[in-house]
Amino acid sequence: MNIGPYELHNNIFVAPMAGVTDRPFRRLCKALGAGYAVSEMAASNPRLWASEKTARRLNHDGERAPVAVQLAGADPQMLAEAARHNVDRGAQIIDINMGCPAKKVCNVACGSALLKDVAQVARILEAVVAAVSVPVTLKFRTGWDMSTRNAVQVARLAEASGVAALTLHGRTRACGFAGNAEYETIRSVKQAVGIPVIANGDVDTPEKARFVLAETGADAVMIGRAAQGRPWIFRETAHFLATGSHLPPPRVDEVRELLRDHLDDHYRFYGDIGVRIARKHIGWYTRELAGGHEFRQRMNVIETGIEQSRAVDRFFVELGAYSERLEYIAADRSKLH
């Protein structure tokens, strides 16, 4: 599929996740088959642009095109200014966040809280589309709560505003991440507009991706939590959609190399705080593997990158002595998210 002039590698995308989809993770997911990746949410407030945290979130050095930056905010002109600022610094697609359910975001009328004010949604989208020459996309939810679902209305408004593509997480803000995604609502949105629609929510296996594409008619699927510690899900899903057959689980030595490269990139990107931030990624990689629980307890007290990397290396060397390929000990991944 295309977003504006950009032809994407495939229709299996990695979702923007705060604190997760940083540049090292996006690069890894793209290398392992993700057709598209959007940055983790960055604030539109110009007072925050110079902060170290925001600067990292907007760092796309060496990332494969198209470079997509997600912005959050409630003020149309501030978002428009932020969009111009990022396009001037290399952003090729601007994504507007109207889906984040976090209280600290919604309490300042950002994220999914905007779905309560459709007029403000229109003002924001029109201002951002008018401000930049690159495609503008929208990520949103089905509504504020089950009694006020307005996804079709918002989707039509977005298309009329000049938005190039939509990503719909099939839950309301009130649902958070609980319950089942509303694929019927995504289907209704797809039928209501002529621009590409990306389905998001509960896509955690290649079979589920095929089901969601068929059930919703969406142009693409977006995978979020299921990619944490399992970034090869993108190549597995692409292969399954193309052939109907499954790739074998990755080799233990391959995962060892992938994680080592991920950590090296992580340390270079974050500097001294990289060790602490890397712990969650290491935990996700190892949580379903034999000995993973005990390893995470030991790993979480390590304070240097060299020691952390060596500990991970030893864990996978020992794991490889028992099995050539990854063998998960948890039968139901959904219980781990």
Measure CA 33 to chain center.
14
Tell me the DSSP string of 218-249.
Answer: -SEEEE-GGGTT-TTHHHHHHHHHHHSSPPPP
pLDDT in tens, the chain (337 residues): 999 999 999 999 999 999 999 999 999 999 999 999 999 998 898 887 778 888 888 889 999 999 999 999 999 999 999 999 999 999 999 999 999 888 899 888 899 999 999 999 999 999 999 999 999 999 999 999 999 999 999 999 999 999 999 999 999 999 988 889 999 999 999 999 999 999 999 999 999 999 999 999 999 999 999 999 999 999 999 999 999 999 999 999 999 999 999 999 999 999 989 999 999 999 999 999 999 999 999 999 999 999 999 999 999 999 999 899 999 885 444 443 3
- Amino acid 335: pLDDT: 41
- Amino acid 286: pLDDT: 96
Cα separation, 91 vs 85, whole angstroms: 9
Q: Within 10 Å of residue 149's Cβ, how many Cβ atoms? A: 18
- Amino acid 52: pLDDT: 85
Cα separation, 83 vs 127, whole angstroms: 10
Check if the beta carbon of residue 142 is closer than 8 Å to that of residue 171. Answer: yes
- Amino acid 330: pLDDT: 57
Q: In Å, what is the CA distance from 51 to each residue of 11, 29, 57, 283? A: 34, 26, 10, 28
Residue listed under structure tokens 């689980």: 249
Cα separation, 59 vs 71, whole angstroms: 14
Measure CA 152 to chain center.
23
In what helix (H) or strand (E) does residue 270 lie, and over which residues does it extend? Answer: helix 252-270
Q: In Å, what is the CA distance from 266 to each residue of 27, 235, 275? A: 11, 22, 8
Amino acid at 121: V
Tell me the DSSP string of 168-201.
Answer: EESS-TTTTT-S---HHHHHHHHHH-SS-EEEES
Check if the beta carbon of residue 231 is closer than 8 Å to that of residue 21. Answer: no
Task: Give the pair of three-digit tokens for residue 320.
Answer: 């490889």
Whether residue 106 lies in the annotated active site: no
Cα separation, 208 vs 195, whole angstroms: 23
Q: Whole-prediction pTM value?
A: 0.94
Tell me the DSSP string of 12-79.
Answer: EEEPP-TTT--HHHHHHHHHTT-SEEBPPPEE--GGGTTSHHHHHHT--TTPPSPPEEEEE-S-HHHH
| Active-site residue, from 100, 106, 110, 175 | 100
CATH no. of 2-243: 3.20.20.70
Task: Give the pair of three-digit tokens for residue 28.
Answer: 């890894």
Which regions of the chain does DSSP assign to beta strands (E)?
2-3, 6-7, 12-14, 36-37, 42-43, 68-72, 93-98, 136-141, 165-169, 197-200, 220-223
Residue listed under structure tokens 């809280």: 113
Largest CA distance in the chain: 60
Amino acid at 173: R
- Angle between the N-to-C axes of helices 118-131 and 151-161, in degrees from 0 to 180, rounded to the nearest 10: 30
Helix (H, G, I), strand (E, B) or coil at 72: strand
Cα separation, 135 vs 133, whole angstroms: 7
